[in-house]
Amino acid sequence: MEIFQVTNGRLGFLSKRFTTILVICFIALPVLVMAVMMSTNSKFDISSILGVEVQNATALDVDSKPTTTSIPDDKLNDTQAHVFGRGSDPEYEYSQPTSTPDDKQLSKTLASSSSGGSVSENDTSQSTSIHNVNLLNGTFASRFGERPGSRNDSSESTSMANDKLLDGLSPPGFDERSCLSKYGSVLYRKISSHKPSPFLLSKLRNYENLHKRCGPYTEPYNRTLKILKSGHVGSTTMCKYVVWRPDNGLGNRMVSIASSFLYALLTNRVLLLDHGTDMADLFCEPFPNTSWLLPMDFPLRNQFRNSELRYAHSLGGMLEKDRKNLLMGSTPPYLYLTIKKRDYDLDKEIFYCDKNQALLGKIPWLILLSEQYFAPSFFLIPSFKNEATKLFPEKETVFHHLGRYLFNPSNQVWKQLITRFYDANLANADERIGLQLRVFHANAGQIQTVVDQLLACTLKKKLLPEIDTRNSVASSSNNWTSTKAILITSLYPEFYKNLSNRYLVHPSLTGEVFGVYQPSHEGYQHRGDNKHNMKAWAEIYLLSLCDVLVTSAWSTFGYVAQSLGGLKPWILHKPGHGVYLPCKRATSMEPCFHYPFSYDCKSKNKVDAGSLVPYIRQCEDRELGIKLFDDEQS
Ligand SMILES: *[C@@H]1O[C@H](CO)[C@@H](O)[C@H](O)[C@H]1NC(C)=O
Ligand SMILES: *[C@@H]1O[C@H](CO)[C@@H](O)[C@H](O)[C@H]1NC(C)=O
Ligand SMILES: *[C@@H]1O[C@H](CO)[C@@H](O)[C@H](O)[C@H]1NC(C)=O
Ligand SMILES: *[C@@H]1O[C@H](CO)[C@@H](O)[C@H](O)[C@H]1NC(C)=O
Ligand SMILES: *[C@@H]1O[C@H](CO)[C@@H](O)[C@H](O)[C@H]1NC(C)=O
Ligand SMILES: *[C@@H]1O[C@H](CO)[C@@H](O)[C@H](O)[C@H]1NC(C)=O
Ligand SMILES: *[C@@H]1O[C@H](CO)[C@@H](O)[C@H](O)[C@H]1NC(C)=O
Ligand SMILES: *[C@@H]1O[C@H](CO)[C@@H](O)[C@H](O)[C@H]1NC(C)=O
Ligand SMILES: *[C@@H]1O[C@H](CO)[C@@H](O)[C@H](O)[C@H]1NC(C)=O
């Protein structure tokens, strides 16, 4: 225990706020910080260096059994919780967790000392339940008080209930314990100023009923499977499906799931995910009393990896071979549809051309592979345009609403990674600044370029202050005006090194005190691993809880964070592309559709998809991409 000292120095304000919940406050003075940093050299175990407060409550105790999980606890244990590995690139960036002896010591001590806390061990939901008023005295209360747009502690439970259901996005009557994040998010995220349209809400409720009626192993589902086998599509009243298949990194997958869900909404299809093994346990089931996971015994699964079969049953492949048959009305029971950045151009042409949507509409099973955010295309395809604009009168909120509706962290990700890291590191800051830093073609020179760019951007736009190089933080203690937390997500330690050297050693000229945190910096990428995806998801979510975001161009990882958080990030310019500006403010929080169609169905000429309607224009970070903007701004 001697390594844990509760000090009431510079961070003494913390202990005032943490009455029963906070018990161990582990603080290192700046000088010590430097000493430890020097001695550990490249091994930056941030949580053990920077003074992490650890809560006593069993809510943060990984030993308590999550209510819904199929992963053994030892797969994701204490040592990893504070410093979970992984980087910022949306594409294949996964990494091993790091831990130092200090960290292990910390978790061991915690594990043995934290039982019998004030929060019931047996009901994990209490820790995030907003009905439990006592808990609001701790971190949560202080956070509410300081956040713009937050309500008074005494505010009515009706408004809380409203917020809790995200203005109606979340269906009522859900078992809260099965998805703590769904209702707990209100305690962590600012209330959105963007309200979903009543039409969207009613569409979602109808969709939920449809999904429940047609979901896996229901009678209609079983019936359509028979059609798959018989090959004969008769009745038009049966349930229809879109099966989403994974491709590329987590950010790409999430934007493509959201796009597929919008397609399902617009075509009255049921969305089922082939989540594979590396996406298990990331998200809660979004639809009540049913599942969005494609059953393992789905008959076409054995075809999924056979590209010849896939092509033979693809839109393009079938049309080439069998145009007449298709048009004569012998509807195939299933079809593969590929909407990727390259290849399958015929699929894309067909998909985006209105006349073919009628044909697609008859096919019971569409099996869709995409890594793109193709949602904006529905605002251009004539047969969907009206309904899409009615669902989203505020056009830049498509992912903001659908993402918050669909992507709620699983209990395991929520408790062991997100809330744990947030409570320990970010909760008490007056402002959280999230930096999502991707380095293209990483080498020392490129990394340095991005470090320069980051500083140029954050100083120029006054996101971060200048420092007082003549003084050290130690000499000006107790003279701060506010506290800020800088959350860095990157594969590389250079950003952390630079910013912590700046702000932990020298006081800022504005009198703000900084904490600098980076959950991981692994330098290389992993793929296909559920655990790493969980950490990636936690980092995306933590970024989305920040007040200010700086992101890298072309990054779906950043897009998901900004849209979930309702934030317009400062986007770092991609080095080597056009005019040199360090960064630029996004004017829409929507993700960018990187590879939109460029084919005019009527004239069969090339067309610029960013010039057809005022609310779809070139992305801020990519000339070839398009995204949705609000009408008002056009
Ligand atoms: C934590 O997980 C790591 C890697 O999975 C494992 O080596 C270690 O033994 C685990 N520690 C505990 C306390 O379970
Ligand atoms: C945790 O909190 C409880 C109740 O406040 C207290 O009795 C217990 O000693 C605390 N545990 C530690 C390790 O301080
Ligand atoms: C768990 O909850 C049940 C019912 O809510 C209660 O009877 C029991 O004492 C609790 N167990 C612990 C260890 O708190
Ligand atoms: C929370 O605050 C209320 C009123 O201020 C007080 O009665 C209660 O004891 C506090 N609870 C905790 C756990 O500090
Ligand atoms: C909070 O309460 C105070 C006093 O009760 C009131 O003046 C203030 O307007 C309230 N703030 C909000 C956001 O409701
Ligand atoms: C889900 O099922 C449970 C038990 O059957 C029921 O109590 C609950 O109301 C249902 N929820 C919804 C949203 O249908
Ligand atoms: C659908 O088929 C599965 C087996 O494939 C069966 O377990 C289930 O009961 C069937 N559902 C209905 C409603 O008959
Ligand atoms: C504390 O801040 C005030 C105003 O920001 C400044 O005038 C004063 O010199 C500072 N004191 C120390 C010890 O830095
Ligand atoms: C941080 O990077 C800037 C720009 O490259 C450089 O001027 C500065 O010396 C670096 N600071 C530290 C502490 O590494």
**What local confidence, expressed as pLDDT, does residue 585 receive?**
95
Whether 109 shows a pLDDT value over 60: the answer reads: no
Ligand 4 pocket, residue 19 CB under 6 Å:
yes
Mean pLDDT to the nearest integer, 432-453: 91
Q: In terms of Cα–Cα distance, which of 415, 418, 416, 421 is closest to 129? A: 415
Can you tell me the distance from the alpha carbon of 251 to that of 248, in angstroms, rounded to the nearest whole number?
A: 8
Q: List all residues 6 or more positions away from 62 whose beta carbon is below 8 Å from its beta carbon.
A: 73, 76, 77, 78, 81, 415, 416
Which atom from ligand 1 is nearest to the alpha carbon of 108?
Answer: 13
Whether 74 shows a pLDDT value over 90: the answer reads: no
Helix, strand or coil, per DSSP, at residue 385? helix
- Choosing from 451, 453, 488, 500 the residue with most ligand 9 atoms within 8 A of its CB, the one to mutate for a pocket test is 451
Sign of CA dihedral 361, 364, 369, 372: positive
List the single range of 40-49, 351-360, 414-423, 623-632 with lowest mean pLDDT. 40-49
Check whether residue 321 and residue 360 sit in a common domain: yes
List the single range of 327-331, 428-432, 473-477 with lowest mean pLDDT. 473-477
DSSP for 225-290 reads: HHHHHH-----SSS--EEEEE--SSHHHHHHHHHHHHHHHHHHTPEEEE--TTTTTTSB--SSTTS
Q: Which of 84-88, 341-345, 447-451 has the highest mean pLDDT?
A: 447-451
Q: In terms of Cα–Cα distance, which of 536, 280, 281, 539 is closest to 421? A: 539
Residue 438: inside a domain: yes
Q: In terms of Cα–Cα distance, which of 59, 179, 55, 54 is closest to 126? A: 59
Check whether residue 242 and residue 388 sit in a common domain: yes
Query: 236: CA distance to ligand 7 center in Å?
Result: 22
Confidence at 387, pLDDT banded by 50, 70, 90: very high
Residue bearing the CA closest to ligand 2, atom 7: 117
Q: Where a domain ends, among 396, 423, 445?
A: 396
Structure tokens at 237: 């009243």
**More confident site: 476 or 77:** 476
Ligand 3 pocket, residue 120 CB under 6 Å:
yes
Confidence at 343, pLDDT banded by 50, 70, 90: low
Residue bearing the CA closest to ligand 2, atom 6: 117
**What local confidence, expressed as pLDDT, does residue 358 receive?**
84
Query: 414: CA distance to ligand 2 center in Å?
Result: 23
- Choosing from 19, 23, 107 the residue with most ligand 2 atoms within 8 A of its CB, the one to mutate for a pocket test is 23
Q: Which residue has the tokens 């697609």?
A: 360
Check whether residue 221 and residue 254 sit in a common domain: yes
Whether 321 shows a pLDDT value over 90: the answer reads: no
Task: Please answer whether residues 84 and 97 qualify as being in contact, where contact means their C-beta atoms are separated by less than 8 angstroms.
Answer: yes
Phi and psi dihedrals of 413, rounded to 5? -65, -40
E strands within 397-496? 431-437, 482-490
Mean pLDDT to the nearest integer, 373-402: 96
Confidence at 22, pLDDT banded by 50, 70, 90: very low
Task: Please answer whether residues 565 and 400 qualify as being in contact, where contact means their C-beta atoms are separated by less than 8 angstroms.
Answer: no
Tally of helices (H runs) and strands (E runs) in the chain: 24, 14
Mean pLDDT to the nearest integer, 423-436: 94
Check whether residue 308 and residue 387 sit in a common domain: yes
Whether 87 shows a pLDDT value over 90: the answer reads: no
Task: Please answer whether residues 444 and 216 qualify as being in contact, where contact means their C-beta atoms are separated by less than 8 angstroms.
Answer: no
Whether 130 shows a pLDDT value over 80: the answer reads: no
Can you tell me the distance from the alpha carbon of 340 to that of 175, in angstroms, rounded to the nearest whole number?
A: 37
Check whether residue 305 and residue 421 sit in a common domain: no
Residues with CB under 6 A from ligand 1: 74, 77, 79
Residue bearing the CA closest to ligand 8, atom 1: 479
**What local confidence, expressed as pLDDT, does residue 195 receive?**
94
Check whether residue 382 and residue 453 sit in a common domain: no
Task: Please answer whether residues 24 and 4 qualify as being in contact, where contact means their C-beta atoms are separated by less than 8 angstroms.
Answer: yes
Ligand 7 pocket, residue 308 CB under 6 Å:
no
Residue bearing the CA closest to ligand 1, atom 5: 75
Give the DSSP H or E segment for 450: helix 444-460
Whether 577 shows a pLDDT value over 90: the answer reads: no
Confidence at 18, pLDDT banded by 50, 70, 90: very low
Q: Which of 42-46, 301-305, 555-559 has the highest mean pLDDT?
A: 555-559
Q: Which residue has the tokens 């161990």?
A: 24
**What local confidence, expressed as pLDDT, does residue 237 receive?**
65
Q: In terms of Cα–Cα distance, which of 22, 53, 59 is closest to 180? A: 59
Query: 116: CA distance to ligand 2 center in Å?
Result: 7
Confidence at 158, pLDDT banded by 50, 70, 90: low
Check whether residue 337 and residue 448 sit in a common domain: no
Confidence at 79, pLDDT banded by 50, 70, 90: very low
Domain that holds residue 444: 411-472+479-589
Angle at alpha carbon of residue 140, lines to 139 and 146, rounded to 5°: 95
Can you tell me the distance from the alpha carbon of 113 to that of 26, in angstroms, rounded to the nearest whole number?
A: 15
Residue 341: inside a domain: yes
**More confident site: 528 or 38:** 528
**What local confidence, expressed as pLDDT, does residue 521 receive?**
66
Mean pLDDT to the nearest integer, 469-481: 68
Whether 356 shows a pLDDT value over 60: the answer reads: yes
**What local confidence, expressed as pLDDT, does residue 479 receive?**
64
Confidence at 421, pLDDT banded by 50, 70, 90: very high
Mean pLDDT to the nearest integer, 336-359: 80
List the single range of 51-55, 229-233, 427-431, 596-600 with lowest mean pLDDT. 51-55
Residue bearing the CA closest to ligand 3, atom 6: 122
**More confident site: 59 or 144:** 144
Confidence at 279, pLDDT banded by 50, 70, 90: confident
Mean pLDDT to the nearest integer, 299-323: 81
Confidence at 526, pLDDT banded by 50, 70, 90: low
One-letter amino acid of 369: L
Can you tell me the distance from the alpha carbon of 521 to that of 544, in angstroms, rounded to the nearest whole number?
A: 19
**What local confidence, expressed as pLDDT, does residue 476 receive?**
59
DSSP for 489-534 reads: EES-SHHHHHHHHHHHHS-BTT-EEEEEE-S---SS---S-HHHHH
Task: Express as a percent the part of the chain with pLDDT over 90.
Answer: 42
Confidence at 498, pLDDT banded by 50, 70, 90: very high
Can you tell me the distance from the alpha carbon of 193 to that of 319, in angstroms, rounded to the nearest whole number?
A: 46
**More confident site: 263 or 167:** 263
Can you tell me the distance from the alpha carbon of 106 to that of 97, in angstroms, rounded to the nearest whole number?
A: 16
List the single range of 42-56, 64-78, 141-155, 454-468 with lowest mean pLDDT. 42-56
| Arithmetic mean of pLDDT over the chain | 74
**What local confidence, expressed as pLDDT, does residue 235 receive?**
59
Mean pLDDT to the nearest integer, 592-620: 89
Task: Please answer whether residues 140 and 192 qualify as being in contact, where contact means their C-beta atoms are separated by less than 8 angstroms.
Answer: no
Which atom from ligand 6 is nearest to the alpha carbon of 171?
Answer: 13
Residue 153: inside a domain: no
**More confident site: 41 or 245:** 245
Residue 294: inside a domain: yes
Using the 8-state DSSP alphabet, how is residue 2 labeled?
T
Residues with CB under 6 A from ligand 6: 171, 173, 288-289
Task: Express as a percent the part of the chain with pLDDT over 70.
Answer: 68
Helix, strand or coil, per DSSP, at residue 141? helix
Can you tell me the distance from the alpha carbon of 244 to that of 247, in angstroms, rounded to the nearest whole number?
A: 10
Residues with CB under 6 A from ligand 9: 451-452, 455, 498, 501-502
Check whether residue 384 and residue 508 sit in a common domain: no
Residue 243: inside a domain: yes
Q: Which residue has the tokens 């003084």?
A: 471
- Choosing from 54, 56, 112 the residue with most ligand 2 atoms within 8 A of its CB, the one to mutate for a pocket test is 56
Can you tell me the distance from the alpha carbon of 135 to that of 158, in angstroms, rounded to the nearest whole number?
A: 19
Residue 441: left if φ>0, alpha if ψ -120 to 50, beta else—which one? left
Ligand nearest to C-alpha 170: 6
Confidence at 436, pLDDT banded by 50, 70, 90: very high
Whether 97 shows a pLDDT value over 90: the answer reads: no
Task: Please answer whether residues 50 and 515 qualify as being in contact, where contact means their C-beta atoms are separated by less than 8 angstroms.
Answer: yes
Can you tell me the distance from the alpha carbon of 252 to that of 255, in angstroms, rounded to the nearest whole number?
A: 5
Ligand 5 pocket, residue 151 CB under 6 Å:
yes
Residue 489: inside a domain: yes
**More confident site: 444 or 119:** 444
Check whether residue 569 and residue 463 sit in a common domain: yes
Query: 589: CA distance to ligand 5 center in Å?
Result: 30
Helix, strand, coil shares, percent, the chain, to 5: 45, 10, 45
Helices marked H in 41-136: 46-49, 78-82, 101-113, 125-128
Structural domains in the chain (count): 2
Using the 8-state DSSP alphabet, how is residue 91 labeled?
T
Could you tell me the CATH number of the domain that includes residue 507? 3.40.50.11350
Check whether residue 367 and residue 443 sit in a common domain: no
Query: 466: CA distance to ligand 9 center in Å?
Result: 12
Mean pLDDT to the nearest integer, 137-157: 35
Whether 104 shows a pLDDT value over 80: the answer reads: no
Q: List all residues 6 or more positions away from 112 whose beta carbon is below 8 Å from its beta carbon.
A: none
Check whether residue 419 and residue 323 sit in a common domain: no
Whether 372 shows a pLDDT value over 80: the answer reads: yes
Residue 321: left if φ>0, alpha if ψ -120 to 50, beta else—which one? alpha
Check whether residue 338 and residue 269 sit in a common domain: yes
Q: Where a domain ends, among 396, 423, 444?
A: 396
Residue bearing the CA closest to ligand 3, atom 1: 122
Q: Where a domain ends, among 370, 396, 422?
A: 396
Residue 504: inside a domain: yes
Exposed, middle or buried, 27 (CB in 10 Å: 0-12/13-18/19+)? buried
Query: 175: CA distance to ligand 6 center in Å?
Result: 8
Residues with CB under 6 A from ligand 2: 20, 23, 56, 113-114, 117-118
**What local confidence, expressed as pLDDT, does residue 546 receive?**
97
Mean pLDDT to the nearest integer, 107-115: 27
Whether 37 shows a pLDDT value over 90: the answer reads: no
Confidence at 450, pLDDT banded by 50, 70, 90: very high
Residue 348: inside a domain: yes
Confidence at 9, pLDDT banded by 50, 70, 90: very low
**What local confidence, expressed as pLDDT, does residue 478 receive?**
61
pLDDT tens digit sequence for 617-631: 999 999 899 999 997
Which atom from ligand 6 is nearest to the alpha carbon of 289?
Answer: 1
Mean pLDDT to the nearest integer, 347-376: 88
